[in-house]
Structure 1
Amino acid sequence: MSSELSLSIGQAFVAPDRRHHRSSMSVRVPAERTLLEAKGASALISDSSSRNAIAKQAGDLSVRGFLADYYSTPDHWDVKTSATRVLRALNGWCYSQSGHVQNGSYMASLSAMVYRGREAHLFHMGDTLVFRLRGAEFEQLSRDHVTDLGGYRYPSRALGLDGNIDIDYVSVPLKQGDIFLFTTQAVRGTLMPSDYVQLIRADASDLNAACERLAEAATSRAQARGYGGEPFCFQLVRIDHLPEAEQDHPGRLYGDLPVPPELSPGERLDGLEVQEVLSRTAQSRVYRVRDTHSEREMVMKAPSPELSNRNSYLEHFLLQQWVVERVNSPFVARVMESSRPRRYLYYLMAYVDGERLSDWSRRHPQASLAQRLDIARQLGKAVQALHRRDLLHQQIHPDNILIDRHGQVVLADFSACRLREGDGHKHSRELARQLGLTEHSAPEYALDTDVGRRSDQYALASTVYWLLTGAQPYELPPHELRSHTDLEQLTYRSARTHNPEISLALDEALRRALDPQRALRFRRLSEFLYALRDPAAERRERTSPRLLKEPVNFWQGVAGILLLLLVLSWLLR
């Protein structure tokens, strides 16, 4: 008999008008044994109180988004950490999107249950319903979060309702034969607990048929009571088999791996031959390696050997690979898979055949303003790609930026990267300070105040200022500040004093992005990037002949004049 978790599933959906249905449900049981053991199986249901298209999208997106992101979380995270972080990210996205639409909102109730090992974990927001049938005992596991307004009941604490959300969490032990029912508030007032037990037990071997019986009975009761226009959806999950005993969480696998020893060129590790030592710091080692099986050149990053017992740093190190995997951008380094199983703690990235921005700048002192602005715009796109995934970089400076032989910019170091938090990014700030601040770090890191996306904006602008001028925007380096009094003494030095080619508009944009007060910088990074346009190209556009910019209008005018001349020639005959 298999020692794996085994489930059976049934679903049914009834809606008088399917165009306006607003519920979504799904179950995922990973086929890969390691993923099933690490993350478990998931069952979800979502529902919205509105009937518009946006409400339906909110339900579908919440279910699909959870299933996609939950199984992409780091292996060493437990179920609660993984699901909670994914749900908070989904909530933030739904809440932000609601501000850009009219006559609707991305708001939905959601219940997600994760079955892992011999335990089930329920995460619940809003008024969707989750029940457990064990023998003849029928018990509701979720809580109804509803608000009565004008005789109508609306979900409260729902996904997307507020920027911050409280998530109900409960874990329950599993028994073989347990049946879990997922449904929505529409069923309230139709079926009694005894009805559920009877209809499910009528033929428990066919869960799809059981769901159909529930839907038919609920619809019949609703029509008899005069409100048969509501959609009904039912989802059943039965525990067919449980593992013999709680298995070790394979997510701890990489955390249990030893830190690699100090390596030198020519030495091998897991079939990877060290070609060059790229970096040695107090926290990490970075090597250029060659896979002896595939002949690929890659970059290996490993914790520093002396950090073997510093679990807090090792936990963050494990997150770095996950951080890079979340971002899909040509301007951000890519994670690579090894051709062999790992026996040590490290991760691999694509090797960039190029040089650091600091070295490039020294080798190209005569580079034009247009070339430097092109590099700045590419770097800005890399930072934007991180921010779209709710990530802060926190260490943008010339030594962490690579330029390949074709002029492509790649952001390559993620030692201080963290997901955005809801506590003013206290842990993010502490991590950045632990790894070391630079002359490009925003003042708030030194002053222990809140950090965020605008902190990355400052570091980006400081790097661009240096790239364009070779200097720093302030006489006192912001990372050396000791008090808010020092902050008030910072005076911006115009970039035009170092490079007269810089336009007044670009200088003003740099000044604003480098404002010592975080709240006074650009609200969106895209506003700053818009200011990094090539002024020479704009001048060419403004001074180009009207014929080149509006050829259709020009030839229409020519045709009109010729027609007029033709008419005049006829009249003068």
Structure 2
Amino acid sequence: MASAPLSLSYGQAFVAPDLRRHRSSMSVRVPEQTLMRAKGACAVISDSISRNAIAKQAGDLSVRGFLADYFSTPDHWDVKSSATRVLRALNGWCYSQSQHLEEGSYVSSLSALVYRGREGHLFHMGDTLVFRLRGAEFEQLSRDHVTDLGGYRYPSRALGMDGSIDIDYMRMPLKQGDLFLFTTQVAQGTLMPSDYVRLIRQDASDLDAACERLAEAAVARAQERGYGAEQFCFQLVRIDQLPDEEQDTPGRVYGDLPIPPELSPGERLDGLEVQAVLSRTAQSRVYRVRDVHTEREMVMKAPSPELSNRNAYLEHFLLQQWVVERVKSPFVVRIMEPSRPRRHLYYLMAYVEGETLTEWARRHPQASLVQRLDIANQLGKAVQALHHRDLLHQQIHPGNVLIDTHGQVVLTDFSACHLRDVDGHKRSRELVRQVGLTEHSAPEYALDDSVGRRSDQYSLASTVYWLLTGELPYALTPDRLRGHTDLEQLAYRSARTLNPEVTPALDDALRRALDPQRALRYRRMSEFLHALRQPLGAERGSSHASPRMLREPGGFWQGVAGILLLLLVLSWLLR
């Protein structure tokens, strides 16, 4: 029998003379059940240290940014990994934005409590306050990180205060009936713990009314004691029902769906009719399918039936789906939503009518340098779109690049795609080895060295070199390396010797991007792509040179010399 879902309710109250300049923000998100099982529900409160127009932006942005990004993390990540990564990214953004402000800052205290299954996960920075009321016990869960300066107390270790941040983390069991109170530092010194318990318990069935009572009492107490009551905010969250038993780990939410059986053309699955089998590997099956309801043609990717018990691969399969869903680029294949509920484990991608780069190069041996470099730059934009999401593709080669009927590049196959700096470099290398090294793989994969964005840069440059010359840059391909001493045998073969149209500058750019030592390649992908665009700009910018002149410069100048010689002879004869 399925476990009962987690259920909670909440209430809020906010008191401020000028809502346009308030410094605090709070929110609760309870998603639909599928996302609830994977990520849980979340309550957040934020309080800015600024007292100007930036304060409202800082408070609202930190709350909305955390909720949006947390629920967009991969479903198989655990709560701590998801929230910590989101908070660090948010902290870096807030800190960088504050450097450009003359007044105010995007610094704010923040507390976020994630409720998942039968556990709560508290993440805290600064001096916002989180309490738990369990029975008659009223306990503060958060720690006050404050600094006293000239009689004033300022939050420390707050979001956006520094380029790096320490995050308090607490994991706690939940009990049915638990009440969690969120408020800000301005409430300190107004109400006593006994006041909180009395006012909440007075009528806990209406949490909005309970928050209103807390706000009214806090304002009255502040006025009695003769200090300003600029703003108060209170948020209450109550656990109404817990699951009967602990839920599965997030990675199993979709993994509980059965893996599709082996399919053949003509067979149907969830209203999808198989048109053709595009690929069968040890890890996956790829089919071209047609939705019998909408008539759309799509590509279905599913795990191999033989791997039904390999949960590690299933988790990575879910990451592949997340990659396609989150990366928005015309140069990366896009996800397609099924027209019916999915009853098996797979995902759908747009069907690209075209051919692989390998097939394209075979059919267009006379393609110009401009055409080839245009393809190279489109492929570079696809890789950049992944890198902007902190993703490594790790399998860039001509067979994974499609050219559609309009000449547009679409990058496919995310079998080895992995998040950069998540689980270290070891997992990234393992994925590549599981899928298989190629002749375009960077040397570090074969040598168990650290990998990163420059590893994708190598594979991209190797693919571009092959596209321009039809050959590989080294006689000994990286997938055949056995040790670091073999790196000495990697002597770069100039692309100009194989294709005279390649300019010296372009050859130097390829040489640098293909350096066997990862640290010696371009620091940023954008630098390499800029070098690839230079020949395009020079050729397109030459308005006086005809296409024939560009393709056959030697013959053109020979003709000019012949005409000049003829004129010289005629002038001599007419003397």
Aligned partners of 1:159 and 1:165 also within 8 Å: no
What's the CA shift string for 1:199-235, capped at 9, x where partnerless? 3334434433433443344455556667637643221
Aligned-partner Cα distance in 2 for 1:440–1:164? 38
Deviation at 1:387, TM superposition (A): 1.4
Q: What amino acid sits opposite 2:418 in the alignment?
A: R
Contact 1:373 1:534 (C-alpha < 8 Å) held by counterparts: no
Given that 2:157 and 2:166 are in contact with CA atoms closer than 8 Å, whether structure 1 keeps it comes out as no
Spell out the pairing of 1:325-336 with structure 2 (5 A cutoff): 325-336=325-336
- Identify the residue that residue 324 of structure 2 maps to in structure 1: 324
Distance 1:161 1:22 in 2: 20
Q: What SS does the aligned partner of 2:299 have?
A: strand
User: Which residue of structure 2 lines up, in the alignment, with residue 246 of structure 1?
Assistant: 245
> Which residue identity is paired with 2:27?
S
Residue 393 of structure 2 is aligned to residue 380 of structure 1: no
Residues 382 and 411 of structure 1 are in contact (CA less than 8 Å); yes or no, is this contact kept in structure 2?
Answer: yes
Q: 1:194 to 1:455 in 2, by over 3 A?
A: same
Identity %: 74
Give the 3-state SS of the residue equivalent to 1:258 in structure 2: coil
Q: In 2, distance between residues paired with 1:13 and 1:339? A: 43
After TM superposition, the structure 1 = structure 2 runs for residues 510-549 of structure 1, keeping only pairs within 5 Å, are 510-533=510-533, 535-541=535-541
- Greater CA deviation, 202-211 or 357-366? 202-211
Deviation by residue 1:356-386 (Cα, 9 ceiling, x = unmatched)? 1111111111111111111111111111111
Alignment of 1:22-61 (within 5 A): 22-30=23-31, 32-51=32-51, 56-61=56-61
Closer, same or farther: CA 284–543 of 1 in aligned 2, 3 Å: same
Alignment of 1:204-215 (within 5 A): 204-215=204-215
Q: 1:93 to 1:25 in 2, by over 3 A?
A: closer
Q: Give a deviation string over 1:514-537, Cα, whole Å, max 9, x none.
A: 222222222222222222226354
> 1:156 — aligned with what?
157
Question: Which secondary structure does the structure 2 equivalent of 1:92 belong to?
Answer: helix
User: Aligned with 1:482: secondary structure?
Assistant: coil
Q: Does 1:434 align with 2:431?
A: no
Aligned residues of 1:13 and 1:231 also touching (Cα < 8 A): yes
Per-residue deviation, residues 287-327 of structure 1 (Å, max 9, x unmatched): 11122222221111122232233221122112211221111
Q: Does the CA contact (< 8 Å) of 2:38 and 2:253 recur in 1?
A: no
Change in CA separation of 1:394 and 1:167 when aligned onto 2, cut-off 3 Å: farther
CA–CA distance in structure 2, aligned partners of residues 53 and 501 of structure 1: 58
Q: Which residue of 1 aligns with 2:548?
A: none
* Kept after mapping to 2: 8 A contact 1:424/1:452: no
Q: Does 1:95 align with 2:92?
A: yes
- Separation in structure 2 between the aligned mates of residue 230 and residue 291 of structure 1, nearest angstrom: 59
> Relative to structure 2, which stretch is displaced further, 353-362 or 206-215?
206-215
- Give 1:168 deviation, angstroms: 0.2
Partner residue, 2:460: 460
SS of 2:198's equivalent in the other structure is: helix
Letter in 2 for 1:378: Q
**Partner of 1:170 in structure 2?**
171
Report the TM-score when normalising by structure 2.
0.84
Moved more, 221-230 or 193-202: 221-230
Q: What's the offset of the Cα at 1:191? A: 2.8
Residues 182 and 350 of structure 1: is their aligned pair in 2 closer, same or farther, counting only changes over 3 Å? Answer: same
Letter in 2 for 1:434: Q
- AA partner of residue 71 (structure 1): F
Deviation sequence 1:263-307 (CA, Å, 0-9, x none)? 222233333222211112221121111222222211111222322
> Match for residue 8 of structure 2?
7
Cα pair 2:321 2:347 within 8 Å, conserved: yes
Cα distance per residue 1:48-81 (max 9 Å; x no partner): 434566665454333223322333445555xxx1
Determine if the alignment matches structure 1 residue 341 to structure 2 residue 341: yes
- Whole-Å separation in 2 of the counterparts to 1:160 and 1:508: 43
Q: What amino acid sits opposite 1:242 in the alignment? A: Q
Q: Is the 8 A contact 1:110 1:159 kept in 2?
A: no
Q: Is the 8 A contact 1:183 1:233 kept in 2?
A: yes
What is the distance in 2 between the residues matched to 1:331 and 1:540? 23
Match of 2:448 in 1: 448
Structure 2 residues without counterparts, runs of 5 or longer:
546-575
Residues 27, 245 of structure 1: CA spacing in aligned structure 2 closer, same or farther, 3 A cutoff? same
Per the normalisation by structure 1, the TM-score is 0.84
Which range moves more in the overlay, 45-54 or 422-431? 45-54
Please name the residue that 1:566 is paired with.
Answer: none
Q: Which residue of 2 aligns with 1:135?
A: 135
CA RMSD of aligned residues (A): 3.1
Match runs of 1:239-388 below 5 Å: 239=239, 241-243=240-242, 245-246=244-245, 249=248, 252-388=252-388
Contact 2:396 2:456 in 1 (8 A): yes
Structure 1 residues 261 and 202, CA, compared in 2 at 3 Å: closer, same or farther? closer
Shift of 1:245: 2.2
Distance in 1, Cα, partners of 2:227 & 2:522: 52
Q: Secondary structure of 1:286's match?
A: strand
Structure 1 runs not aligned, ≥5 long: 546-573
Distance in 2, Cα, partners of 1:514 & 1:493:
11
2:119–2:171 Cα contact (<8 Å) kept: no
Aligned mates of 1:198, 1:130 — CA distance in 2: 17
Q: In structure 2, how many angstroms separate the alpha carbons of the residues matched to 1:111 and 1:407?
A: 50
Name the structure 1 match of 2:475: 475
Aligned pairs, number: 538
Residue in structure 2 matched with residue 65 of structure 1 by the alignment: 65
Return the offset for 1:106: 5.0
Letter in 2 for 1:102: H
Looking at structure 2, the residues matched to 353 and 317 of structure 1 have their Cα atoms a distance apart, in angstroms, of 24
**What's the counterpart of residue 179 of structure 1?**
179
Local SS of the residue matching 1:133: strand
